[in-house]
Amino acid sequence: MASNSMSAYGSGSWTVKQSKAFESALATYDQDSPDRWYNVARAVGGTTPDEAKRQYELLIRDIESIENGHVAFPNYKTNGDSTKGRLRDEEKRMRSMKLQ
């Protein structure tokens, strides 16, 4: 889930460790969890529930941009047709993914 895009998600003051903790906490505390943002913030450490919720909103915006084709897929250099085929398959798979 970590974003390497130039968007607001990932460009803040969160460390890689906090970002990984954030992603793990999102998997643990789904939208129906009581006190979701409090628990996510506690799992991340050094952040507030409001900051955790804002980080989530930025992540969702990034994912929507990717799904809507606003972020180009990288043009990886390959050394053979089999790799190119796998990359095309991966691009197709990524384009067909949707948020739930």
- Which pLDDT score is estimated for 81? 52
pLDDT in tens, 9-51: 444 678 999 999 999 999 999 999 999 999 999 999 999 999 9
- Which pLDDT score is estimated for 87? 64
Q: Give the least confident one: 13-22, 71-80, 84-93.
A: 84-93
pTM > 0.85: yes or no: no
Q: Assess whether pLDDT exceeds 90 at residue 60.
A: yes
Can you give the three-state secondary structure of the chain, one letter per residue? CCCCCCCCCCCCCCCHHHHHHHHHHHHHCCCCCCCHHHHHHHHHCCCCHHHHHHHHHHHHHHHHHHHCCCCCCCCCCCCCHHHHHHHHHHHHHHHHCCCC
Mean pLDDT of 40-66: 93
